[in-house]
Amino acid sequence: MNTHTIDTDTPVISADAYDTAAFFTGSEAIAVVTNTTAPDAVPLPSPDASTAELLFAAQEAGRRAVPAPFTETALVARPLLRRAGLPVPDGPLSYAIAPELTIRYAHPAASPVGSAGCLGDDDTLLITGTLHRVPWARAAGAVVVLATAPSGPVLFTLDPDRAALTPGANLAGEPRDDLHLAPLEIPASRVRRIPRELLEEAEHRAALGRAALMAGAAERCVELTVAHTTARVQFGRPLSHFQAVKQEEARLIEEAALVRAAVQAAATPLDTGGPAAHFAVAAAKTQASASAAEIARIAHQLHGAIGITQLNPLHLATTRLWSWRDEDGDETDWALRLARSVTAATLWPALTTKP
Amino acid sequence: MCPSTLSPIAIPDAALPESARRLRTEVRAFLDEERARGTALGRPDSWLAGWDPGFSRRLAERGWVGMALPTEYGGAGRGFLERYVVIEELLAAGAPVSAHWVSDRQAGPSVLQHGTEEQRRFFLPRIAAGQCFFSIGMSEKSSGSDLASVHTRAERTSDGWRLTGTKMWTGGAHVNDYAIVLARTDEAEDKHTGLSQFIVDLRAPGVRIEPIRLMSGEHRFNAFHLDGVDVPDGMLLGRRGDGWKQVTGELAFERSGPERYLSTFPLLVSLLSELEHRSVTAGQLTQVGLLTARLHSVRRLSLGVAAALNAGASPDTQAALVKDLGTRLEGTLVDTVRSILPTRADPHATPGSHAELLAFALLHSPGYTLRGGTNEILRGIITRGLEQR
C-alpha cells in the first residue's frame, strides 16, 4: 500500500553535524526543509501526498532528527490552510492552537443583533496576547493560528516577523519560541471562520504528527542500541550475548513497535474524521508519550556511559522523545480524552471500528 | 511492508477485508443470542477455562469453527483474517470457546498442512463441525521451554508405533477426543531431529489421564500417561523425523493471536460498568485511557502479524514480540484494574460480579506469560531475529 519515495540510504544526521543555531540563521532553515538533496533533509512531500505517506515521512524525519519544522509544515499547517481555503505558502510553516488569545474585530459592526463588537464589518482582527512555545517560529514563513473570535472559531496566518519573539527551546534544542502580539492587526484576507470540527482536526493533526516523529525517534533508539550491543565487547563477548541485555533489548524493540503500530493505525481514521479519528489519534499519542520513558531508559542503559554524551548520537533521539511526549498533549491529556470517549458498551466497538 | 528499514518493528499494518465488517456484525448478533440463552459469557481467560461443547457446536453450525479450512474438507475457506475477527469477538465477549480452541487453532491447520489425505478427510470435517476436540501433547515434566528435550518414545511395531511416556499440561485431555503427541522416534546427536508427531486417541487402551489442579482448584490440565499406547501407522502426522519443524511452524499462529492479549479484556469491561455507577476521578480515567491505548496498539501489532501469516510469511520474531507484549498486558490489566477501583477479590462472590471476575483473573494471571513459551525465552528469539538481519 505504501508508495514512499524516501531514500533510506541517506545518512542520519550525526551528533557532530547537528547545530541548531547554524540551521536557523537566515534562510538556511528553508533550505533544510525544501532542498531535497541536502543530506539531512527529508524532502517535504507533495501537497497531494496521502496521510499515510505524510506519516511515513514524519517517522523518517523523527528517525533522522531532521532539524526543521517537518510535521508542523506537512501534517498540520498545509492541510489546515487548504481546508480553510487560504493560500499555502512555500517553505517551513508552523502552528499555534491558542484559545487564550484576546481577539476583537478591528472594524466592529454596529449590528442590531447580539452584543456590540461580536461581529465586524469585515473579518479583520485585532489580536492581543502571547503564543507560547511555537515550534520553530523563528524559522517559519508563517504561523497558522487557530483561536476563538467573538463570532466563533477562526483560523488566521501570522507573519512571525510582525511579533516580538522570545527565543526558547525544548530539551533537544529545537526552537520553541514565544510570540508576543500587542495588539496585532490581521487583515481579513488572512482570516477564515472555521467549523468547530476543524479545531479538533488541528489538535488531531498536531498530536499524530508528534506521535509519528516519536515513532521514528524510537526506531532510531532501537537501531543505535542494537548496533551498540552487537559491536561492544565486554568480558570477552558482545553485550548482545548477555541474557540480561537480551531481556531489556527485546522490551525496547517491543515498545518501539507498539508506538509505530499505534501511529500507523491512525492514518486512515485521520482522513475520515469523527469519533474513529478521535479514538485512533488519542490512542496513538497516549501510547507514544507513555512509551517514551521506557524506550529512552533502556536505550541509555544499554549504551552505557557513552550514551549520555554528545559524542554519541543517541541523545538526538532521546531528548526528542522526552520533549515530544509533552508537546501537543501528553499521555495524561490524551488518555483522559480517550477514556471519556468510551463506556463499557462502546469500548470493544471502538477498538474494532473499521478502518 | 514499509521499505524504511530492516527493523522487526516494521510490522505491516493490517487492513481487515471488507467482508470482516459484516462478519463481525453477525458474530455480535450470535453472541447476543447466547447471552439471552444464559450461556456463561463475560469470563476472563475463556479460551482456557470456558469449556462448553454445546456452544462450540452452535458456533460450528454458523461455520465459525475451522473457518480457515478449505471447503472441500468441511471448512469455510475464509482465511486467517476473517477467522481473526470471529475469535477476537468471542474472546472479547468472554465466550466459552476452550472445547474447540486447540482443534481450531492448531490441530486443524496442522492436519491440513502435514496430514495424509486420509487424515484430512477424517479429521477436518469433524473439527469444522465442532464434533472433534483436540489436546496438545508437547510439554513434559522436565521440558518446559526446552521442548526438544522430550523423552516420550515411539517404538516401531509390526503395523504402527507404541508410545511410552508422560506428557504434562495437557489441557482438556480428560474431556477431549484426540491429542497430537510429540515423541522421539529416532536417536540423534541433535535433539531437534528424530522427533515425530502422532495423533493419539485419548480413549485408546494404555492412555491414563491424571488431573493437575490449578491453584484456583480448577481441573483444566492433566498429566497424560502413555503406557505403551498402540498408534496405527496412519496416525503418524507428517513425516517421521520432521516433528520439530512441524511444531515450530505452528508457533507463529499460536503466539500472535488475539488470545495473547484479550484473556483479561472482559475484566476491563466489567470495571467500566462498575465505574458507570460511581463518581470517577480524572486519575481513574487516565489509567483506563492508558490501558485502552495499549490494548489498541497491541491489537494492531497482532493484526499485522495475522496479515503477514495470511500472506504466507513466517513472522516468528514478530509473533514472539506480540506474545511478550500481549501477555504482559493481560497481567498488567488485572493489577491496574484492581488499583483503579480497589476491590476485594472474592472467588465466592456472585458469579459474574466484579469481585468474582477479579479473583478469577488474578488466579489465572501467572499463566499468561508461561503458556506458549515463557516470555523470557521469547525475548531471546526477538533479539536473535533482530541481530540476524
Q: What is the CATH number of the domain that holds B194?
A: 2.40.110.10
Tell whether A174 and A143 lie within a shared domain.
yes
CA distance A329 to chain B (A): 13
Question: What mean pLDDT is predicted for residues A235-264?
Answer: 96
- Pull the grid cell for residue B238: 507428517
Q: Which of A194, A219, A252 is the last residue of a domain?
A: A194
Query: Which band of pLDDT confidence, cut at 50, 70 and 90, is reported for residue A137?
Result: very high
Residue A29 pLDDT: 42
ipTM of the complex: 0.94
Shortest CB distance from A246 goes to which of B3, B13, B379?
B379
Highest mean predicted confidence (pLDDT) among A291-295, B38-42, B372-376: A291-295
3-state DSSP of chain A = CCCCCCCCCCCCCCCCCCCHHHHCCCCHHHHHHHCCCCCCCCCCCCCCCCHHHHHHHHHHHHHCCCCCCHHHHHHHHHHHHHHHCCCCCCCCEEEEECCCCEEEECCECCCCCCCCCCCECCCCEEEEEEEEEEECHHHCCEEEEEEEECCEEEEEEECHHHCEEECCECCCCCEEEEEEEEEEEECHHHEEECCHHHHHHHHHHHHHHHHHHHHHHHHHHHHHHHHHHHHCEECCEEHHHCHHHHHHHHHHHHHHHHHHHHHHHCHHHHHHCHHHHHHHHHHHHHHHHHHHHHHHHHHHHHHHHHHHCCCCCHHHHHHHHHHHCCCCCCHHHHHHHHHHCCCCCCHHHHHCCCC
CA distance A167 to chain B (A): 33
The pLDDT > 70 percentage for chain A reads: 86
- Residue corresponding to grid cell 489421564: B209
Residue B234 is classified by DSSP as G
Q: What is the CATH number of the domain that holds A254?
A: 1.20.140.10
Residue A116 pLDDT: 67
Highest mean predicted confidence (pLDDT) among A4-8, B38-42, B77-81: B77-81
Work out the burial of residue A304: count CB atoms within 10 Å of its CB; fewer than 13 is exposed, 13-18 middle, 19 or more buried: middle
Query: Which band of pLDDT confidence, cut at 50, 70 and 90, is reported for residue B335?
Result: very high
Has residue A21 been placed in a domain? no
Set of chain B residues whose Cβ sits within 8 Å of the Cβ of A259: 297
pTM above 0.90, yes or no: yes
CA distance A209 to chain B (A): 17
For B212, the 3-state DSSP assignment is strand
The pLDDT > 90 percentage for chain B reads: 80
Number of H helices, E strands in chain B: 14, 8
Question: What mean pLDDT is predicted for residues A134-139?
Answer: 92
Has residue B13 been placed in a domain? no
Query: Which band of pLDDT confidence, cut at 50, 70 and 90, is reported for residue A112?
Result: low
- Pull the grid cell for residue B134: 483436540
CA distance A114 to chain B (A): 37
Strand partners, A128: A102
Greater model confidence, A92 or B208: B208
Residue B313 pLDDT: 84
Mean pLDDT of all residues belonging to chain B: 93
Residue-wise pLDDT tens digits, B164-206 = 999 999 999 999 999 999 999 999 888 899 999 999 999 999 9
Query: Which band of pLDDT confidence, cut at 50, 70 and 90, is reported for residue B145?
Result: confident
Has residue A255 been placed in a domain? yes
Q: Which of B132, B149, B169 is the last residue of a domain?
A: B132
Residue B336 pLDDT: 98
Above 70 in pLDDT, residue B136? yes
Nearest of A254, A242, A219 to residue A304 by alpha carbon: A242
Nearest of B271, B282, B273 to residue B341 by alpha carbon: B271
Question: What mean pLDDT is predicted for residues B319-326?
Answer: 95
Has residue B37 been placed in a domain? yes
Write out the residue range of the structural domain in which residue B214 sits: 136-241
Number of domains in chain B: 3
CB contact under 8 A, A351 and B304: no
Residue A5 pLDDT: 36
Number of domains in chain A: 2
CB contact under 8 A, B2 and A2: yes
Q: Which residue does chain A place closest to B1, by CA atoms?
A: A2
Above 50 in pLDDT, residue B303? yes
Above 50 in pLDDT, residue A15? no
Write out the residue range of the structural domain in which residue A233 sits: 197-352
Q: Which of B94, B113, B132 is the last residue of a domain?
A: B132
Residue-wise pLDDT tens digits, A308-346 = 998 899 999 999 999 999 999 999 999 999 999 999 999
Provide the number of CB pairs (under 8 Å) joining chain A to chain B.
Answer: 174
Has residue A30 been placed in a domain? no
Question: What mean pLDDT is predicted for residues B144-149?
Answer: 85
Tell whether A248 and A136 lie within a shared domain.
no
Question: What mean pLDDT is predicted for residues A237-245?
Answer: 95
Question: What mean pLDDT is predicted for residues B209-237?
Answer: 96
Has residue B7 been placed in a domain? no
Residue-wise pLDDT tens digits, A19-61 = 433 333 333 443 344 434 444 555 667 778 899 989 998 998 8
A61 contacts chain B (CB < 8 A): no
Question: What mean pLDDT is predicted for residues A64-83?
Answer: 91
